[in-house]
Every structure is written in structure tokens, then in C-alpha cells.
Amino acid sequence: MASTEQPLPPRKETQLPEWEHENGGSHVAAPTKKGSRRAGRAGVSGKLDRVLPPHRRYLGMSRKIFLLVLLAVILALLALIIGLAAGLSRKSKNQNLPLPTNTDKHVGDFTYYGTGLGACGETSGDSDSIVSISHIVFDAAGSSSSTGGNSNNNPLCGLMLRASRFDEEVNAQKSIDLKVVDRCTGCAPNDLDTSLGAFEKLAPSASGRVDITWAWLQPTPTA
């Protein structure tokens, strides 16, 4: 009798993707960001442990206290350096101002104003030999009401300066000594604002504004 069994169909081979061949047929998940951060922290902690072992004491302190003290010292040094730099910057800036410690002769505008009670607490008249100094110089010298202080205590108050100008009409140099009694908000650092009477000793009042050369007569170490 003839056999009735049917032949089995040929087996098909499953084709694997190239990446599965390369990985041996297994799939490995990539590390997550969270895992990377943990690994990074572990790496930093390990380096710190090698440099400063946690079981040791440093200057009699635990590692944690020692690191906190070290951080405080570093921050204090940074604050000191920044403060010194700012102080040197102010000092350098003030050296260029016409303060009493600056013995140079200064050239600026010479004007006059309506006198009265000045920033130094003194009341003056139009015939007085007084002068109002630029607010920039006045404030740089010390106490000022604009900075919340008492401007009467400003070290420039009461100091003397000598202003000079060549008068072409009489072909001669004229000078006048002036006392600081006020603070001029509209004056540049080298400008002087004086009484009408003092102005007329160096120039006609009709001029309104003239060039002037001036210098301090008494330097002060507090400026």
C-alpha cells in the first residue's frame, strides 16, 4: 500500500537585523539622564573622598565643618579683594578732581549767582568774596546733604582758593581770594560760581561767564 504522509515544507530561516547580530542578538538599554547624573555625582564624591578622606579630621574639624569654614574664608577674601579694588578706583578717580590735595592749577568757567544761605550753613551777600564749588567736587570731599549727610560738616567749607584772570582791557593779571560756602549743582568739576561783587573784580558783570584759573590756598588731608 502506498504511503499517505505528506512531506514537510522546508524551514524558513529568520533574518535578524544587523544591529542584533552586532549585539549578539540581545538589546541593551541606554543609560538614562537620571542615571548619568547619579554617576556624575558618584564620580565627584569619589574624587573628593580620595583628596579629603571623610574619616580623617582637618585642623581638628570634621571634613564637613572644614569645607564650610574653607568656603567662608574664600568668600571673605573675595569680598575684601572687591572692596579694595573699588576703593582704589574711587581714589584714582578723585585724584583727577580739583580737591585740595590736588596742587595743580585748574581752568574752568567763572560765573556768579544770587547769594544767600549756602550748603555750608553760612549766609552770604552779593559783595562777599565767596565761592560755590561744583557738586561733584563737594560730594567727593565728604559729607553732603545729597547723600544723606550734613553738608555743614563738609571739609571744603571755609577753605580758601585763589582765582586769577588776565584782563585784556587793562593788560594785567587780576586775582581774588574766595572762601568756599556753597555747593553748585550746575557746575562742572573745575567751574567756580561766585558772588556778583567778586565776579566784577575780575570781569564785567555783562560777560556773564568767563574762563578762570584757580588753585587751593590750603590743602587739607581729609579731602
Q: What distance in Å separates the CA atoms of residue 154 and residue 56, rounded to the nearest whole number?
A: 58
Q: Which H, E and C letters describe 51-111, residue by residue?
A: HCCCCCCECCECHHHHHHHHHHHHHHHHHHHHHHHHHHHHHHHHHCCCCCCCCCCEEEEEE
Q: What distance in Å separates the CA atoms of residue 121 and residue 127, rounded to the nearest whole number?
A: 18
Distant-in-sequence, close-in-space partners of 197: CB < 8 Å, separation ≥ 6: 126, 127, 128, 129
CA-based diameter of the chain, in Å?
156
Instruction: Map grid coordinates 578762570 to a residue.
Output: 212
Q: So what's the pLDDT on residue 223?
A: 39
Q: So what's the pLDDT on residue 148?
A: 78
Q: So what's the pLDDT on residue 143?
A: 86
Mean pLDDT of successive 10-residue stretches along the chain, which has 223 residues = 58 56 52 64 77 84 88 88 64 72 92 96 96 96 84 95 90 94 96 96 93 84 42
